Amino acid sequence: MALKVYLSGEIHTDWREQIIDGAQALEVSFSAPVTDHDASDDCGVAILGSEENKYWHDHKGAMVNAIRTRKGISDADVVVVRFGDKYKQWNAAFDAGYAAALGKSVVVLSPPEHQHALKEVHAAALAVAEEPRQVVEILRYVLTGTLPG
Amino acid sequence: MALKVYLSGEIHTDWREQIIDGAQALEVSFSAPVTDHDASDDCGVAILGSEENKYWHDHKGAMVNAIRTRKGISDADVVVVRFGDKYKQWNAAFDAGYAAALGKSVVVLSPPEHQHALKEVHAAALAVAEEPRQVVEILRYVLTGTLPG
Amino acid sequence: MALKVYLSGEIHTDWREQIIDGAQALEVSFSAPVTDHDASDDCGVAILGSEENKYWHDHKGAMVNAIRTRKGISDADVVVVRFGDKYKQWNAAFDAGYAAALGKSVVVLSPPEHQHALKEVHAAALAVAEEPRQVVEILRYVLTGTLPG
Amino acid sequence: MALKVYLSGEIHTDWREQIIDGAQALEVSFSAPVTDHDASDDCGVAILGSEENKYWHDHKGAMVNAIRTRKGISDADVVVVRFGDKYKQWNAAFDAGYAAALGKSVVVLSPPEHQHALKEVHAAALAVAEEPRQVVEILRYVLTGTLPG
Amino acid sequence: MALKVYLSGEIHTDWREQIIDGAQALEVSFSAPVTDHDASDDCGVAILGSEENKYWHDHKGAMVNAIRTRKGISDADVVVVRFGDKYKQWNAAFDAGYAAALGKSVVVLSPPEHQHALKEVHAAALAVAEEPRQVVEILRYVLTGTLPG
Amino acid sequence: MALKVYLSGEIHTDWREQIIDGAQALEVSFSAPVTDHDASDDCGVAILGSEENKYWHDHKGAMVNAIRTRKGISDADVVVVRFGDKYKQWNAAFDAGYAAALGKSVVVLSPPEHQHALKEVHAAALAVAEEPRQVVEILRYVLTGTLPG
Amino acid sequence: MALKVYLSGEIHTDWREQIIDGAQALEVSFSAPVTDHDASDDCGVAILGSEENKYWHDHKGAMVNAIRTRKGISDADVVVVRFGDKYKQWNAAFDAGYAAALGKSVVVLSPPEHQHALKEVHAAALAVAEEPRQVVEILRYVLTGTLPG
Amino acid sequence: MALKVYLSGEIHTDWREQIIDGAQALEVSFSAPVTDHDASDDCGVAILGSEENKYWHDHKGAMVNAIRTRKGISDADVVVVRFGDKYKQWNAAFDAGYAAALGKSVVVLSPPEHQHALKEVHAAALAVAEEPRQVVEILRYVLTGTLPG
C-alpha cells in the first residue's frame, strides 16, 4: 500500500516540511498548493494579463490555483488540512469540505484554541492532530501498523 | 422550473428571513441549518448523553447537525453561503467546499472587506453578492428571466 | 424538509413501532425490511420453487429480500441500524456498511455491552443511541430544531 | 490482467498468509487491515492522546483504522471477507456491505455453520468458500483460466 | 414504499399484461418499450426521413427507441427481462446488462430450456422466474411482505 | 412515463413555441434558458453591480445564466439543441457536450447546411431533426408509441 | 495514448488471436474472458464444490467468471463484442449493455446477417465491423491517426 | 505531481506544437484528436466501408474519432480548448461542455474578437488565454509554482 497525501492550508510555518521529512521512509507521495504567497496571489494576472479591479485580480489567481488544488485533492487518499494561528483560512475549510464531499480521508491539524470553531470540520475528519509529528505517526501506522514509542 | 435552495452560514442576523420573504412569489423551497445557537451547540449531549470533555460535547453535536446539513446541501440546486462580520465561520467555508465538490451552484453572500480572504471560495461560486436582496434578484431572474428595476 | 428513514436490523422487539409512533408528528416516511421472520426466510422458495439444499433455499430468499433492502437504503436519507441482544446480526452490520458507502447518514441503535465490538460500525455513524426514544429525538431535532425537555 | 485483493475480517488465524503464499506465482497485490490486535485497538490514543472514556478510546482508534480500510477496499478489485469461529465480527460484515455498495467483487470465506446467519452477506458475494485454498484457486482461475487438479 | 418497474424483452405474448393486471392492487408504476413491432422498427424513418440502406433504417429507429428505453431503465427500481421462445432477443440481454451495470434489481423471466444459455444473465439477477405470476408474487412480497397461498 | 425536456440553443425564432404547442397533449415538462437576449446579456451586472471591462460584464452574466442552464440540463431526460442560421452558437454546442457527458438523450435540431460542421455533435445525438415538428413527433412516439400520419 | 481493450463474446473461432496479432505494434493491452469452454462452465463446482442441480452448477460458474468479466470491462477503454454464427450469445449482448451503461466505447464485430437482430446493440456502438482486421484498423487509427492502405 | 493535458479544437495552426515544445521540461503528457484533416473526415468509411450518403459518411467518421476524443478527455486533468479564426468549431465547444460536465479543469485559448460569443464557454473555464505561451506558463506554474519573467 502506498498513500497519496495532499497537504492543504496554512503556508507560513514549516509544518509541511516536518511531515515530509518525518515520512521519508514511508511510501507516501505528497502534493500541496503553491506555497509562495506572492506567486499564489499574482499568478492570474502575471500570466493572463493585469486587472485594474482587485476582485478580478484575485479571481484570476484563485482560478489558476484551483487547477492545482483540484488535481491534488482529487488524486489524494488522505487530505491533511492545517489551521494556524492567524488569518481567516477559509480556503483551508473550503478544501476540507471539498475533500469530505469526495469521500477522502480528512486529517485536521489544528491548535486546541480553535477546537470549538472547527467542530463541523472536525466532525468530517478521521483524525484531529495538534502536531505535525502526529500526522507522520498516523501515516506510519496506516502504512505499516507500527505505533510510536 | 422550481429551485431548492440551502441557506448556509452566519446565524446572527436576519439575512435568511430577508431572502425567504423576498422570494415568496417564487417557486423556491428553502432549507437551512438549525439557527438556534444553543440548541445547535448542545443537541448531541441533550439527546445522546452528556460528555465531560468539551471536544466530544462539540463533536456529538456537530455530527447530529451534519444529518441536517448533508441532507440540505445534497438536495439543493443552489447553495447560498453567507459570511458575516464576526467569528471564524469555518463551517460556512466548509459547506461551500462541500457544495462545490457536489457540483451545486454556489452563491456567496459576503461583505466587501472579506473579498481577498474569500477569493478561493468566490472562485467556486457562480455569483458573489453583498446584499440578501441581490440573492432574491438572482433567484427571480433564474426562475422567471425578470431583472430588477 | 422531509426525511426518508430506513430501519434496518433486529426484528424481534418493537423498536420500529416505538420510533414510528414517536415520529408521528414529523415529516418522516419510514421503510424497513420484511419483519415476518418466516416469510423472510422462505420467500425465495415459496415464490420461485423449492430447493433441496438449504444453502440455495436461503440464497433465493436473501436475493428476493435484497430487492426491498436495496430500494429502502438507496432511497433513504437516514439509515437507522439496530443491534439487539441476540443472534449474529451480520445483516445489520452489512446494511450499515452498505449505507455508509453510499454516503447515507447512519444512526446506530445498540446496547452499551456491544460498544467495543461495534466500534468500526460506530465510527461510520453520525449518532449512536441506546434507546428508540433517542432516535425519535434526533429526527425531531433534525427536522424542527427542537430539543427534548 | 492483475488483481488487487483486500483481505478483510478475522485476524486470529493465518488465513491471510495461506492465501498470500498460495498466490505467490500470480499477479495479485494484497492489502489488509492492521492485524496486530493491540495496536489496532490503541492506535487512536497512542497517537492522538489518551481518552478516559472507553467509547472515545475505541472511536479514535476505529477512525484511524478507517483510513487504511477505506483505502484498501476502494482500491481493490476483489474483497475477500473472512468470518471465523469467534467474536461478533461485525466489522467483517460492515466491510462486506461497504464493498458491495462500491460494486467490488466480494468473496466470502466462512465455515458451514455460519451459513444461515450469513445468507444476506452471501447473497452479495460472487463466491462463498470454506477454505483459504479455494480463494487461491479462484484467484488463479480468474487470472489464468486454470482449474485445480 | 412504491416500486418503479421496467418490463424489458419479448413483445409477442401478453406477459406484460399479466403482470400489470396481477399487480393492480400494488403501488407499482410500470414502463416498457414500445411493443408495436412495426412502429418500433420504422419510427426512425417515419419521423426523421427514409433511408435507402436497411442498416441506417434500423439504426435511426433503434436510436429513437433508445430515448424511451434509457429513460425507463434509468428510472426503474426493478428491471424485469423476459426471454421468450423465439428470435435472438439480444436487445433483452443488452437491457439486462445495462440495468445490471446501473445497479438495478434485475428479475429474469425465462423458460427452463434457456437456463444454460442465460447463465451469465441469471448470475446478475436477484430472481429468476418462469411465469409472469411469479413476478407479481415477487412484487407483492417486496412491497407488502405477503407470500402467495 | 413523463419526460423532462430542456430546449437549448438558438433564441431568435419561435422553435420553442412550436415544440411546446405541438406537445400540449403529452406528458412533457419543458425548461429552457432565459430567451430575452438583453436580459440574458446584462443579468450579471444588473444584479451584482456594473463592470467597466466588457469581459467581466459578460462573465458575470454567463455565470448567473449557468445556474439556470445547469439546473435545466441536469434535471432533463432529453436535451434538444437547436442550431440556427446565424451567429457562432458555441453555447449550443457547449450544452450538447455537457448533456452528452451526463448521459442525457440528446436531440439535435439543425438545418442541412450545417451537417458537416456538426458531425461530432450529431454523433452524440440519438436523433437529428430539421424541423420542430419532428421533435414533437419524437416526443409523442417516445411517450405513446404513436407515429405520425 | 495507450488503450485497454476487452474482447467479449464468441469463443469458438480465432478472432481474438487475429486482433491481438494485428495490434502487436500498437500500445494496446488486451483482456478477455476465459475462453476454455469446459473450464468456464465448470469453474464454480471445480473450486467451490459440486452441485446436483444443473442450475446452481451453472450459477456458481457464472458468478466466478463474473469476477474476471467485471474487472476486464471496468478497466477497459474499448469493449469489442463479437457475435458469431452460432448459439444464443446472450452473454455477449449482456456485456455490450453493461459496457454501454458504464460509458465505454463499444465496438461490435458481427456478420451482416445479424444486422437487424442486433440493431439495439449496434445503436450503442461507436463502430460496427465485420472482420477482425477492421477492429485492428480502428485501434491503429485511434492510436496513431493512420488509415489502412 | 504530473499532469495529463488534452489539446482540443482548431487543427490548422501549430498551437499544439508550441505548447508541447514549451512544456518539454515539465511533467506533462499530452493527448489530442487526430489532426490530419482528411484522415479524420474519412476514417469511418476507409475502415468500415463506404457510404453513399454524405451524412452517414461523416457520421461513421465522427463515431470512430469519438473513441479517441472520449479517451483523451476522460483521462485528462486539464482540457485546453482552442478556438481559431475560421470555421464553426462546434466540436471544440462540444468538447468544452463535455469536459466541464466531467469536472475537468478547462483552459480556453481564444482570440479577443470571440470574447462575447464564447462567454458561456469562458464561464466554465479556469483560465482564458490568448496565446499558446500563456498555456505553457499556466502548466509551469501549476506544476512548479514558478511565474514567468
pLDDT tens digits for range G54-108: 999 999 999 999 999 999 999 999 999 999 988 899 999 999 999 999 999 999 9
Interface test with F, best of E4, E40, E68 (most F CBs within 10 A): E68
Q: Do chains D and H touch (3 or more CB pairs under 8 A)?
A: no
- Angle at CA of residue H101, ends H98 and H102, nearest 5°: 90
Instruction: Measure C56 CA to nearest chain G CA, in Å.
Output: 8
**DSSP string across chain C:** --EEEEEEE--SSSHHHHHHHHTTTSSEEEE-----HHHHHHHHHHHH---SSHHHHHHHHHHHHHHHHHHHHHH-SEEEEE--SSS--HHHHHHHHHHHHTTPEEEEE--GGGTTTTHHHHTT-SEEESSHHHHHHHHHHHHH-PPP-
Question: F51, F88, F94, F115: which to substitute to probe chain H, counting the most H Cβ within 10 Å?
Answer: F94
**pLDDT tens, chain F, 149 aa long:** 899 999 999 999 999 999 999 999 999 999 999 999 999 999 999 999 999 999 999 999 999 999 999 999 999 999 999 999 888 999 999 999 999 999 999 999 999 999 999 999 999 999 999 999 999 999 999 999 999 98
> For G28-48, what is the mean pLDDT?
98
Look at residue A86 and tell me whether its pLDDT is greater than 90.
no
Name the residue facing D145 among G34, G47, G66 (closest C-beta): G34
For the residues C74-103, what does the mean pLDDT come to? Answer: 96
The yes-or-no verdict on residue C136 having pLDDT over 90 is: yes
Residue with cell 425537555: C149
CB-based contacts of C101, cutoff 8 Å, min separation 6: D97, D98, D99, D100, D101, D102
**Closest residue, chain E, to C34 (C-alpha):** E145
Q: How close is the nearest chain F Cα to the Cα of A65, in Å?
A: 19
Whether pLDDT at D115 is above 90? yes
d(CA F126, CA E80): 24
H43/G148 Cβ within 8 A = no
Q: What's residue A87's pLDDT?
A: 85
User: Using the beta-carbon criterion (under 8 Å), do D120 and C83 form an inter-chain contact?
Assistant: no
The predicted-structure confidence for H19-54, as pLDDT tens digits, reads as follows 999 999 999 999 999 999 999 999 999 999 999 999
Distance CA(E96)–CA(E74), nearest Å, equals: 12
Nearest CA in chain G to E117: G88
Percent of chain D with pLDDT over 90: 96
What is d(CA B50, CA H19) in angstroms, rounded to the nearest whole number? 61
> H: neighbours with 3+ CB pairs under 8 Å?
A, E, F, G
Q: List chain D residues with CB under 8 Å of B53.
A: 51-53, 56
Residues B78, B104 contacting (CB under 8 angstroms): yes
Residues of chain C with pLDDT > 90: what percent? 96
The pTM of the full predicted model, rounded to 2 decimals, is 0.98
How close does chain E come to C131, measured CA to CA in Å? 26
Tens-digit pLDDT profile for residues E45-70: 999 999 999 999 999 999 999 999 99
Task: Give the distance from residue H53's alpha carbon to the nearest chain E alpha carbon, in angstroms.
Answer: 9
Q: How far apart are CA E92 and CA G86, in angstroms?
A: 18
Helix (H, G, I), strand (E, B) or coil at B80: strand
The 3-class secondary structure across E94-112, one letter per residue, is: HHHHHHHHCCCEEEEECCH
Q: How far is H120 from chain A (nearest CA, A)?
A: 16
Kindly list the residues of chain F whose beta carbon comes within 8 Å of any beta carbon in chain E. Answer: 1, 3, 77-78, 103, 105, 107, 126-129, 134, 137-138, 141-143, 145-149
Contact yes or no for E77 and C71 at CB 8 A: yes
State how far the Cα of B102 lies from the Cα of B100, in Å rounded to an integer: 5
Residues contacting D40, CB < 8 A, separation 6+: A145, D11, D33, D34, D61, D65
* Residues of C engaging G, defined by a Cβ cutoff of 8 Å: 51-53, 56
Judged by DSSP in three states, G21 sits in helix
Would the CB atoms of H114 and F88 count as touching at under 8 Å?
A: yes
- Per DSSP, what are the bridge partners of residue H81? H8, H108
CA angle C74, C79, C81 (to 5 degrees): 130
For E11-51, the pLDDT digits (tens) are 999 999 999 999 999 999 999 999 999 999 999 999 999 99
Retrieve residue F143's grid coordinates: 411517450
Contacts of C100 in chain B (CB under 8 A): none
Q: Which amino acid is at C102?
A: L
Could E90 and G90 be called an inter-chain contact, meaning their C-beta atoms sit closer than 8 Å? Answer: yes
Residue in chain D closest to G67 (alpha carbons) equals D105
Three-state SS annotation for chain H: CCEEEEEEECCCCCHHHHHHHHCCCCCEEEECCCCCHHHHHHHHHHHHCCCCCHHHHHHHHHHHHHHHHHHHHHHCCEEEEECCCCCCCHHHHHHHHHHHHCCCEEEEECCHHHCCCCHHHHCCCCEEECCHHHHHHHHHHHHHCCCCC
DSSP category for residue D146: P
Provide, as residue numbers in chain B, all residues whose Cβ is less than 8 Å from the Cβ of C142: 64, 67-68, 71
Probe site for chain G from D106, D141, D143, D144 (most G CB atoms < 10 A): D141
Residues E106 and E65: beta-carbon distance below 8 Å: no
Asked if D136 contacts D30 with a C-beta cutoff of 8 angstroms, the reply is no
G–H contact (≥3 CB pairs within 8 Å)?
yes
Chains D and A touch (3+ CB pairs under 8 A): yes
Asked if residue C86 has pLDDT above 90, the reply is no
Chains E and B touch (3+ CB pairs under 8 A): no
Report the chain F residue with the minimal C-alpha distance to residue H60: F123
Task: Determine the pLDDT at residue F115.
Answer: 96
Q: What is the pLDDT of residue H82?
A: 98
What is the C-alpha separation between H135 and C3, in angstroms, rounded?
48
Distance CA E21, CA A34 (A): 65
Chain E environment of H53 (Cβ under 8 Å): 51-53, 56
Q: Is the pLDDT of residue C149 over 90?
A: no
Which residue out of C50, C54, C56 would a mutagenesis test of the G interface target, given it has the greatest number of G Cβ atoms within 10 Å?
A: C56
Q: Which residue in A34, A89, A119, A122 has the most chain B C-beta atoms within 10 A of its own C-beta, making it the best mutation to test that interface?
A: A119
> Which of D48, D50, D53 to probe by mutation at the B interface, max B CB count within 10 Å?
D53
Which of B47, C96, B135 has the alpha carbon at shortest distance from D93?
Answer: C96
Q: Which residues of H touch E62 (CB under 8 A)?
A: none
Q: How far apart are CA F11 and CA F135, in angstroms?
A: 17
Q: Nearest Cβ partner of B93 from A55, A62, A97? A: A97
What integer pLDDT is reported at residue A101 of this predicted model? 98
Nearest chain F residue to B144 by CA distance is F34
Q: Which residues contact E78 (CB under 8 A, 6 or more apart)?
A: C67, E3, E4, E5, E6, E104, E105, E106, E107, E139, E142
Nearest to A64 among H3, H127, H149 (CB): H127
Give the chain H residue whose CA is nearest to the CA of A75. Answer: H1
H66:F119 CB<8 A: no
Residues 6+ apart with CB under 8 A from B138: B107, B127, B129, F47, F64, F67
For the cut 90, the answer to whether the pLDDT of residue A6 exceeds it is yes
pLDDT at position A149 over 90 = no
CB B46 within 8 A of CB B19: no
Please give the pLDDT value at position E85.
Answer: 87
Compute the nearest-CA separation of G96 from chain C (Å). 24
The beta-carbon neighbor of G43 closest among D107, D128, D141 is D141
Note the helical H segments in chain E.
15-22, 37-48, 54-75, 90-101, 119-122, 132-144
Q: For residue D78, what pLDDT band results from cuts at 50, 70 and 90?
A: very high
Tally of residues, chain C: 149
CB E16 within 8 A of CB F124: no
H63: closest CA among H92, H40, H97, H38?
H40
Q: What is the pLDDT of residues C57-85, one digit of tens each?
A: 999 999 999 999 999 999 999 999 999 98
Chains interfacing with F (3 or more CB pairs < 8 Å): A, B, E, H
Among the partner residues H128, H137, H142, nearest to A67 by beta-carbon distance: H142
- The Cα of F132 is separated from the nearest Cα of chain B by a number of Å equal to 22
Q: Is F50 exposed, middle or buried (0-12, 13-18, 19+ CB in 10 A)?
A: exposed
Q: What is the mean pLDDT of chain E?
A: 97
- Find cell 470454506 and name the residue: D130
In angstroms, the CA H5 to CA H77 distance is: 6
Yes or no: say if F69 and F97 are a contact pair by the CB < 8 Å rule.
no
From CA D55, how far away is CA D42, in angstroms rounded?
Answer: 12
User: In the predicted model, is pLDDT for residue A117 greater than 90?
Assistant: yes
Residue linked to cell 488471436 = G17
Contact present, A80 and A54 (Cβ < 8 Å): no
Q: What is the mean pLDDT of chain H?
A: 97
Determine the Cα–Cα distance for residues B90 and A118; give it in Å rounded to an integer: 6
Q: Determine which helix (DSSP H) or strand (DSSP E) holds A55, and give its type and residue range.
A: helix A54-75
Give Rg (Cα) of chain B. Answer: 16
**What pLDDT was estimated at residue A33?**
98
Give the pLDDT mean for D80-93.
94
Per-residue confidence band for A85, with pLDDT thresholds at 50, 70 and 90: confident
